[in-house]
A = this chain, B = another copy of it.
Amino acid sequence: MLLNERKIKILDAIIKDYIATAEPIGSRTIAKKFDFGVSSATIRNEMSDLEEMGYIVQPHLSSGRVPSDKGYRYYVDTMMKQKELDEAQFAFLKELIAGNINQIDYLMKETAKALAFMTNYTTVVTEPKLDKTRIRNLQLVSVDEHNILIILVTDAKVVKQMTLTVETPLGFNELTEISFVLGTSFSGASYESFTPEFCESVEKKLGRYGYMLEPIVGAVLNTIISESNTDVYTSGVKNLLSFPEFSDMDKARTILNALDEKQTLISLISKEDGETVQIVIGEENEVAHLRDCSIIKANYSLGGQSYGSIGVIGPTRMDYPRVVSVLKGMVKNINKILDNNKPKQAP
């Protein structure tokens, strides 16, 4: 059986109403609330069909209908109109993230916060994946006699710091010398650049400080490739508590626990490349504890290359169109900020 136009309209009404009220809705209420020009009995028949097809379900035998995951999926895939944020809304969003956007941690934190504020759901943002960036600068700063801070500047303004403990103290001049060699040698390098040959050549350039190369490259590569070093920023976790579907404490606790694990979050919102916004609904979700949630996620990027992810987590009864448009706006904003920071090509 195919969905005829009236069935689609009714499904639409059910979904919209349920997103707004979180209450099961019955045929009579639909007939009254929305004007289809048919009686409740007709709607009842259609709803019976819709249920048989799996788009809606009845929580209890004698109660109204509620959209199923399949229903949301159909809604999202074929019925939902995607709208972009209008000028004013985009400007407002930009305003929200107006501080020191030159520091990546600030930018990420504020993005997560703004997104949570605008959607009223929980948001997650991952820092740019370093293995896709290029090193722009690397410098050593003395912390104390035996500890050196490695400052790593990459494309897309990601600044990472690591500390290194050394046996032999190094003075300002010595660190400067090493910094200069490393900064110039590594500039433009990416993860793949660190071949044995490359390292050897840099080691030569370092002269008597050649012994420093190994620990530094070790620390840098470790930072670049290790996923556990990717910072994840969450915001609005408490927003979830206001939804009636999570008013059961145990359920709420389970979800909050799941959202507390960095690894879970990363796997949750990371996605393959591609421009599009991806929507994961309820049971489609791989994280078992979040089977009552939907996730809407997208990648931000620089020059077509995906850098990191940004996602919104809410109940399956989510305001999909709104979140999609806000998310798109947010990605646009990050991309713009990162792009402004990109080294300009010589004319």
CA distance A247 to B183 in the complex (A): 55
B residues less than 8 Å from A165 (CB atoms): 102
> Beta-carbon contacts of A73-88 to B below 8 Å, as 1s and 0s?
0000000000000000
Q: A211 an interface residue at 8 Å Cβ cutoff?
A: no
- Please pick, from B161, B172, B260, B341, the residue contacting A103 in the complex, using a CB distance under 8 A: B161
Q: Do A137 and B147 touch across chains, with their CB atoms under 8 A apart?
A: no
Q: Mark A237-271, 1 if CB is under 8 A from B, else 0.
A: 01001100001010011001100100000000000
Q: Which of B141, B142, B159, B180 contacts A143 (CB 8 A)?
A: B159
**Whole-angstrom CA separation of A141 from B165 in the bound complex:** 20
Copies of this chain, tallied across the complex: 2
* Bound-state Cα–Cα, A254 to B136, Å: 45
Cα of A139 to Cα of B163 in the assembled complex, Å: 15
The A interface, classified by DSSP as helix, strand, loop or mixed, is: mixed
Bound: A249/B250 CA distance, A: 11
Within A114-167, the residues touching B (CB, 8 Å) are 136-137, 139, 141-145, 147, 149, 151, 153, 157, 159, 161-163, 165
A238 to chain B, nearest CB (A): 5
State whether A151 touches B151 (Cβ < 8 A): yes
* B102 in contact with A147 (CB, 8 Å): yes
Evaluate contact between A159 and B161: CB separation under 8 angstroms. Answer: yes
Q: Give the docked Cα–Cα distance between A279 and B181 (Å).
A: 54
CA distance A253 to B243 in the complex (A): 11
Q: Residue A142 contacts which of B102, B137, B176, B249 (CB distance < 8 angstroms)?
A: B137
Cβ < 8 Å to B, chain A residues 223-244:
238, 241-242
Q: Given B139, B144, B161, which contacts A343 in the complex, CB threshold below 8 Å?
A: B144
**CA of A145 to CA of B145, assembled, Å:** 31
Give bound CA distance, A257 to B241, whole Å: 11
Which of B136, B139, B141, B260 is close to A137, meaning CB atoms less than 8 Å apart? B141
Q: Which residue of B lies closest to A259 (CB)?
A: B238
Residue on B with the closest CB to A344? B145
Which of B143, B253, B256, B257 interacts with A136 by CB under 8 Å?
Answer: B143
- The chain B residue sitting closest to A242, CB to CB, is B253
- A62 to chain B: which residues have CB within 8 Å? none
User: Chain A 43-83 against B: per-residue CB contact (8 Å), 1 yes, 0 no?
Assistant: 00000000000000000000000000000000000000000
Closest to A246 in B: B249
Residue contact A141 to B142, C-beta cutoff 8 Å: no
Having A136-B144, A137-B142, A159-B161, one finds 8 other A-B pairs with CB under 8 Å, namely: A102-B147, A103-B161, A141-B151, A143-B153, A144-B157, A149-B159, A176-B176, A238-B257
| Partner-B contacts on A (CB < 8 A) | 100, 102-103, 136-137, 139, 141-145, 147, 149, 151, 153, 157, 159, 161-163, 165, 172, 176, 179-180, 183-184, 238, 241-242, 247, 249, 252-253, 256-257, 260, 341, 343
- Nearest 7 CB-CB pairings of A with B: A102-B163, A238-B256, A139-B141, A141-B151, A241-B253, A143-B153, A176-B176
